[in-house]
């Protein structure tokens, strides 16, 4: 992956790009879910969604701990990756009822 394009970006432009990327990440995930539900059924989409996100969550947490040198253990060590992970904006902007669906 060529990341050279980011070398000359200033902080505001990088933040704008990160927002763009996270928004597309959510949209892509939503369409995957919707099309699986359409092609098969909602229980199948739910099951695959749980399986994929169950796998991704562990991989993301390990990667975040490594990239951000998170040394804390226990609850403190758990909260920081959650706060900066790709699902963080979804978690803080979605109602608890919607998250339980």
**Mean pLDDT, 10 residues at a time, the chain of 101 residues:** 91 94 90 96 95 87 84 78 66 47 46
How many angstroms separate the first and last alpha carbons of the chain? 35
Which among 23, 19, 47, 54 is positioned nearest to 33, based on CA atoms? 47
* pLDDT at 99 (0 to 100): 45
């Amino acid at each position: 992956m060529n990341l050279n394009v980011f070398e000359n970006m200033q902080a505001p432009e990088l933040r704008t790009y990160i927002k763009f990327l996270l928004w597309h990440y959510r949209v892509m995930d939503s369409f995957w879910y919707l099309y699986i539900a359409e092609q098969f059924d909602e229980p199948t989409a739910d099951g695959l969604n749980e399986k994929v996100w169950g796998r991704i969550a562990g991989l993301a947490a390990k990667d975040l701990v490594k990239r951000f040198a998170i040394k804390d253990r226990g609850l403190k060590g758990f909260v920081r990756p959650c706060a900066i992970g790709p699902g963080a904006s979804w978690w803080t902007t979605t109602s608890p009822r919607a998250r339980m669906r």
